[in-house]
Structure 1
Amino acid sequence: MQHGQPLALDQSALEAVVARALEQGRKAGASAAEAVVSIDNGLSASVRLGEVETLEYHRDKGLGLTLYFGQRKGNASTADFSDAGIAEAVAAAAAIARHTAEDPYAGLPEAELMAGSYPDLDLDHPWGIEAQDAVELAQRCEAAARGHDERISNSDGANVNSYRGTVVYGNTHGFIGGYTGTRHGVSCSVVAEQDGAMQRDYWYASSRMADALGDVEDIGRRAAERTVRRLGGRRLGTREVPVVFEADIARGLIGHFLAAIRGAALYRKSSFLLDHLGEQVFPEFLTLQEQPHLPRALGSAPFDGEGVATRARDVVRDGVLQGYVLDSYSARRLGMQTTGNAGGVHNLSVSNGDLDLEGLLREMGTGLLVTELIGHGINMVTGDYSRGAAGFWVENGEIQYPVEEITVAGNLKDMFRGIRAVGKDVDLRGNIRTGSVLLDRLTVAGE
């Protein structure tokens, strides 16, 4: 990214920093060590009502170091990459390790799991946009939203941002690897007013590549359309009905599933999916596949946060849970092997059918389309789910009117098993890639 200057350090320079940190860790007597260096820079421009609100240049760098003395572990970090700065971090990590209790599960992953070689995933697409151009794009986006409908009365603004970063990880197994990636985005949020009532909504685009963001005016108009369609919202009486979660809301639903199969939740026995490996957790037509090597995808990575090679796998196949989401520590706690998920999953893709959102609504017939969820009423131990919501009431497959100030409630275990269909309107703007989801029934409470 240009902003006048490229990144201050290239990958080979960062690899040298990691190598120096590991060498100093060994000299301090550590039996094992790992280090991660990251450096990134970026630009973010926000406008509101046509005026520049914020213009931020972002430059950040850091070294994180972990030393192991047998089963004792110490962490330290620094932004000083000089020999003296690294020596200070090593001394701090060593001092912390000496004062911590032994943890039989601490340590590096097994050496044979390291990413010996890995593909170029085409993640680096610098934009080179200058501040004035970013401001102008944000202004055009917001102007398109504000000019779309006379009921648009105010704006929360529009934002254009661009980031580029390099990360290098290494450990005393002899592994050092790194990669550079970019992430660019445009977003807009506006307010509409009718009969004294106001509504707010937004839209955004996010991609590794600037030219994949689409037209900024289209993003603004989409934000305006979504805002205006919420005017005249009503409440619903309490009922049990089928529900469609719009794709970007459905991503959160799948996120709750991932949280329930994470190693930390499992070894703490704080998950409603404890001991569900090999069990039916979704309908038979559903497969959830982790695809870490998709070119240019936002969640792609050649290795995880511990240098373990990432690989494609079915987390759920034909509705049956095939594997958990583990790093090396949680895997040892569970008597298992890491799944290469230190730092999270990489491009979890939910299989989908051939219906678009409109098709899902026709399939549902009468029920609720949820386009916004509010609050965090989720009990991960029991799976009980209750959240504030807004969206649209649907009859005979057609949207009838907007609804607001309602609550949707159920149990996540039942909700996952009760998925009737997943739409082909797959949202690619995040690490979880899913279409809209039709659930057979939830309790909807309002008046």
Structure 2
Amino acid sequence: MKLIHQIEKEENLLINTVSNTLQLAKKTINCSIEVSVKKTIGFNINIRNNIVENIEFNSDGALFITVYNKFSKGSVSSRDFSVNSIKKMLDIAIDISKNSSSDFFVGLPDIKLLCFNPNNLDLFHPSELSIKNGINFASIVEKEAFKFDKRIFNSEGSFFSSHITINVLGNSLGMLEKYKSTLYSAYNCMIAKEKNIMQRDFYYSTSRKIENLEKPDILGQNTAKRAVSRLGSKKINTMKSSVIFSKEISFNFFSNLIPAISGDNIYRKSTFLLHDLQKQIFPNWLNIIENPHIQQGLGSKPFDDEGVKTTVKYIVKNGILSTWLLNSYNSRKLKLISTGNSGGIHNWLVSNQNISFQDLLENMSTGLLVTELMGQGVDIVNGNYSQGAIGFWVEHGQIKYPVNEITISGNLKHMWLNILSISNDIDTRHNIQCGSILISEMQISGN
């Protein structure tokens, strides 16, 4: 109860700060204005070999003010919420706007798109969790990993975090809304050794509710199992082969679609999908739905960073690209309407063909299973894709041995169209939820 009372007090303070800033602006400046504040409270714990390496406490908040002076914009931020500081911020924002070039497309969102009386998305689940409890959780994870297999000989660290975030946004169009959320995370990375050869791997869990985190003993065992499975890694020859992206990295595969359809890249003509709206870019059985209103969803939001109400919509329907991702500015540049994606995406749900991961392996028969990607090798201008990869070689539908020191490459347009199947082993730890993905062919560079 003490924590809930503290959060309610903090929330009221932030609401009053935004409200007072709007009232002060109304009296002193003749401009449109947007005011937002975000505060995160919590802690991070990191232990290694059962020794607490660091404990970090967070209580970070910032006030953001943006004024629109006709067709010029001025933005400032500060961690000082005092009245004098707010007055100075308003003055500075006005000065910046007066010295900024005019841009016809800047301004507040259309009032009809704003979110008034947001839905309760069940994102807030505070826990009276002590530092001692957090240390104990991280410690159990590491101990269970060591116990799992004698080849686990060292730890790269066990991590636990607990955070509460409060968001408040208001503007001169009459909006003043807020929502708050909790997020708990646990992460562990272990090192396995055999015949002087070492391999590492990790596992993690994240949730809005503390009780929905993976149990610490299971988390530790999963980490150890993954690290041990990497032992005996081999190089493979350069070839073209079928490839499976495992569920742990399938979100990464689809995340490449985000910048390719973002409004800023569209109006700048810096994306390979510039002319592909309402055209087929995936197989006709594949859908991607954005649902910002999933209860306790990791990507759920009642409104975006501008206060525009979020909505359920198709990103891809029957393989056809259905929309761009737009905020108020780039939607005006493109003569369209904001899609409520200022600040990013909200819970992408990728369809699957309701087959198991084992079925997917058998459908591939022989090829590469990728479980980890390295580097930033994606060019959004032309769609070329090249990344370092770690995984396993598969023959006749069975995993044979681990592989490393390879690069996989292709072009995203071809890769997306060449998706043969997606299994139903959906990973819910991201704001893109997807199963493992089978692609008919990619270039593999090895020996």
TM-score class, shorter-chain normalisation, is over 0.9
2:445 is matched with which residue? 445
**Aligned pairs for 1:357-368 within 5 A:** 357-368=357-368
1:422 is matched with which residue? 422
Contact kept, 8 Å, 1:239 with 1:444, in 2: the verdict is yes
Distance 1:3 1:300 in 2: 23
Q: Would the alpha carbon gap of residues 30 and 393 (structure 1) be closer, same or farther in structure 2, given more than 3 Å must change?
A: farther
Query: How far did 1:248 drift?
Result: 2.2
- What amino acid is the match of 2:254? I
2:307 is matched with which residue? 307
Distance 2:187 2:91 in 1: 44
2:275 is matched with which residue? 275
Contact kept, 8 Å, 1:3 with 1:130, in 2: the verdict is no
- What amino acid is the match of 2:412? L
1:116 is matched with which residue? 116
Does residue 136 (structure 1) correspond to residue 133 (structure 2)? The answer is no
Contact kept, 8 Å, 2:387 with 2:407, in 1: the verdict is yes
- What amino acid is the match of 2:154? N
**Aligned pairs for 1:288-327 within 5 A:** 288-327=288-327
Does residue 396 (structure 1) correspond to residue 396 (structure 2)? The answer is yes
Q: Would the alpha carbon gap of residues 15 and 232 (structure 1) be closer, same or farther in structure 2, given more than 3 Å must change?
A: same
- What amino acid is the match of 2:110? E
Distance 2:288 2:9 in 1: 38
Query: How far did 1:105 drift?
Result: 1.1
Contact kept, 8 Å, 2:3 with 2:126, in 1: the verdict is no
Distance 1:204 1:5 in 2: 31
Contact kept, 8 Å, 1:29 with 1:69, in 2: the verdict is no
1:385 is matched with which residue? 385
- What amino acid is the match of 1:213? L
Contact kept, 8 Å, 1:363 with 1:397, in 2: the verdict is yes
- What amino acid is the match of 2:323? G
Contact kept, 8 Å, 2:116 with 2:177, in 1: the verdict is no
Contact kept, 8 Å, 1:155 with 1:189, in 2: the verdict is yes
Distance 2:49 2:168 in 1: 41
- Larger deviation, residues 418-427 vs 287-296: 418-427
Contact kept, 8 Å, 1:154 with 1:192, in 2: the verdict is yes
Distance 2:324 2:2 in 1: 41
Query: How far did 1:356 drift?
Result: 2.2
Contact kept, 8 Å, 1:2 with 1:129, in 2: the verdict is no
Once the two structures are superposed, residues 376-422 of structure 1 have per-residue CA deviations (whole angstroms, 9 ceiling, x without a partner) of 11111110001110100000000000000000000001111111111
**Aligned pairs for 1:150-229 within 5 A:** 150-229=150-229
The SS at the match of 1:6 is helix
Contact kept, 8 Å, 1:161 with 1:185, in 2: the verdict is yes
Which residues of structure 2 form unaligned runs of 5+? none
The SS at the match of 1:302 is coil
2:47 is matched with which residue? 47
Contact kept, 8 Å, 1:3 with 1:129, in 2: the verdict is no
The SS at the match of 2:148 is coil
**Aligned pairs for 1:24-35 within 5 A:** 24-35=24-35
Once the two structures are superposed, residues 72-109 of structure 1 have per-residue CA deviations (whole angstroms, 9 ceiling, x without a partner) of 10111111222112112111211111111111111111
Distance 1:248 1:334 in 2: 35
> Normalising by the residue count of structure 2, what TM-score does the alignment of the two structures yield?
0.97
Distance 2:117 2:132 in 1: 41
Distance 1:113 1:4 in 2: 32
Query: How far did 1:270 drift?
Result: 1.1
Contact kept, 8 Å, 1:188 with 1:204, in 2: the verdict is yes
Distance 1:4 1:342 in 2: 30
Distance 1:46 1:5 in 2: 28
Distance 2:3 2:151 in 1: 38
Contact kept, 8 Å, 2:118 with 2:177, in 1: the verdict is no
Query: How far did 1:12 drift?
Result: 3.6
- What amino acid is the match of 2:379? N
Contact kept, 8 Å, 1:34 with 1:67, in 2: the verdict is yes
Does residue 101 (structure 1) correspond to residue 101 (structure 2)? The answer is yes
- What amino acid is the match of 1:119? N
- Larger deviation, residues 9-18 vs 257-266: 9-18
RMSD over aligned Cα atoms:
1.4
Contact kept, 8 Å, 2:41 with 2:165, in 1: the verdict is yes
Contact kept, 8 Å, 1:3 with 1:131, in 2: the verdict is no
Distance 1:441 1:28 in 2: 63
Distance 2:9 2:56 in 1: 21
Contact kept, 8 Å, 2:192 with 2:199, in 1: the verdict is yes
Once the two structures are superposed, residues 272-307 of structure 1 have per-residue CA deviations (whole angstroms, 9 ceiling, x without a partner) of 111211100110110000001000111101111111
Residue-pair matches, total: 447
- What amino acid is the match of 1:371? T
The SS at the match of 1:303 is coil
Distance 1:201 1:74 in 2: 46
- What amino acid is the match of 1:204? Y
Which residues of structure 1 form unaligned runs of 5+? none
2:375 is matched with which residue? 375
Distance 1:357 1:424 in 2: 7
The SS at the match of 1:147 is helix
Once the two structures are superposed, residues 185-226 of structure 1 have per-residue CA deviations (whole angstroms, 9 ceiling, x without a partner) of 111000111122111100000000010002111001101100
- Larger deviation, residues 349-358 vs 10-19: 10-19
**Aligned pairs for 1:43-82 within 5 A:** 43-82=43-82
- Larger deviation, residues 29-38 vs 199-208: 29-38
The SS at the match of 1:243 is strand
Distance 2:357 2:105 in 1: 46
- What amino acid is the match of 1:412? L
Query: How far did 1:5 drift?
Result: 7.8
Query: How far did 1:30 drift?
Result: 4.0
Distance 2:178 2:117 in 1: 11
